[in-house]
Structure 1
Amino acid sequence: MNDMMPLMTRATERTARLVRAVGAEQLGSPTPCAKFDVKDLINHLEWVATMFESLGRNGPRVEQEPYAGDFPERAERMLAAWSRLEAWEGISPGMGLPMTSLAHMWLVDMVVHGWDLARATGQAYEPDPEAVARGLDFTIQMVEMGRQRGAFGPPVPVPDDASPFDHLLGTIGRNPTWTP
């Protein structure tokens, strides 16, 4: 927990700032995540925040609700749930994975979906290098399970000398050069 919470917090705060800056006219814009426009992506983030708050309190998986426009508030509640030591213990009854794996899943979601949102809305985005490194290490270990569960797409080739962040994006199926 000690090393992950700061990474999770910084990545969450970056993504929340991006969400706050989205204008109503941008909600229908496409994103690098082909199944989502901007509104759908924010709604996905809302659901993920609510679900990970529940999981951090040893609760069940939750169903996605309609778009509410309150991701930053949900994200704060999620971080509060995970700031408790007991949130990091054992296996999640809702997901069947170690709690530390769930924390890494959150981190990857915040880093990658932050980029998705920034690209789609023309905002600047620079992920935390340490979060990228941790996310890439975790993703490489979990990529096949992620693809089987539909969380990741087919890999996108990137040059060997590409940045770690571009490697993370390519590993999960994002094209690092995507533009709207």
Structure 2
Amino acid sequence: MNTVHTAQPDPRPVYARATAQAAALIKTVRPEQLTGPTPCAEFDVRTLLSHVVGGTRRIAVVGEGGDGLAVRPFADEVTDDAWTAAYDDIVVRVLAAWADDARLTAPVRVPWGEVPGRAALSGYVMELVAHTWDLSEALDRPLELDPELAEFALAAAHRALPEAERGAEFPFDSARPAPEGAGAYERLAAWLGRMPLSRA
């Protein structure tokens, strides 16, 4: 038995909450904000939305037993007036794909290797919550974010990225020091090498 993975909590309720939070934030995006910067230097708001929808589609396919690596992690076909509908639709699909308990122990292929479904979905909680913070920063923080989701994502980030220094093979920069008294989202962002736009 792999005690590292079986000791992890069921990520599905947390992932469902994270998708609801992301959906609420996506609904606030105004057309003139789509070309604005985000804490992901290579993404503007439009590209970040494309990545969130595409990444959710990828983990839906993984949950359905398909090859997530065959799914492009961007949704370039979505028009600017359809981001809310596109995300809402893929959330229905991803939650249904992971409803079966057997998906948590089945081995799946994700960009960082073959892992049990529980570990894969936990990794996508980390990604979604981090990108929700990115989007919130880009939109000037229109909604209050749930700190419990960031705490879960930070624990997943420490498992996935235990070392602070990272090379070019990682999709995250080396960790930055978090400000004194930082909240959960600031600590998550710092561990993933990000900083608020106001400090960038």
Is TM-score (shorter-chain normalized) higher than 0.5? yes
Q: TM-score, normalised by structure 1?
A: 0.87
User: Aligned pair 1:150/2:170, yes or no?
Assistant: yes
Matched, 1:108 2:126: yes
1:50 counterpart = 2:70: no
The structural deviation recorded for 1:24 is 1.4
| Structure with the higher helix share, 1 or 2 | 1
| Structure 1 position 34, deviation (Å) | 0.8
The one-letter code sitting in structure 1 at the alignment partner of 2:63 is G
TM-fit CA distance, 1:65: 4.1
What is the 5 A alignment of 1:1-180? 3-61=10-68, 62-63=71-72, 64-68=74-78, 69=83, 70-94=86-110, 95-143=113-161, 147=166, 149-159=169-179, 161-175=181-195, 177-179=196-198
Read off the aligned partner of 1:150 and give its amino acid letter: F
Compared CA separation, residues 50 and 145, structure 1 to 2 (3 A)? farther
Which shows bigger deviation, 85-94 or 163-172?
A: 85-94
Are the equivalent residues in 1 in contact too, given 2:28–2:142 (CA < 8 A)?
no
Q: Equivalent residue of 1:158, what SS?
A: coil
Runs (5+) with no aligned partner, structure 1: none
One-letter amino acid of the structure 2 residue matched with residue 168 of structure 1: L
Q: Highest CA radius of gyration, 1 or 2?
A: 2
Q: RMSD over aligned Cα, in angstroms? A: 2.4
State the 1:168 CA deviation. 1.1
Unaligned runs of 5+ in 2: 1-7
CA distance in 2, matches of 1:164, 1:117: 16
Tell me, what secondary structure is at the counterpart of 1:155? coil
Which stretches of structure 1, 4 residues or longer, exceed 4 Å deviation after superposition?
144-149
Count of aligned positions: 179
> Which one-letter code corresponds to 1:77 in the other structure?
R
Counterpart amino acid of residue 31 in structure 2: A
Percent same amino acid at aligned positions?
27
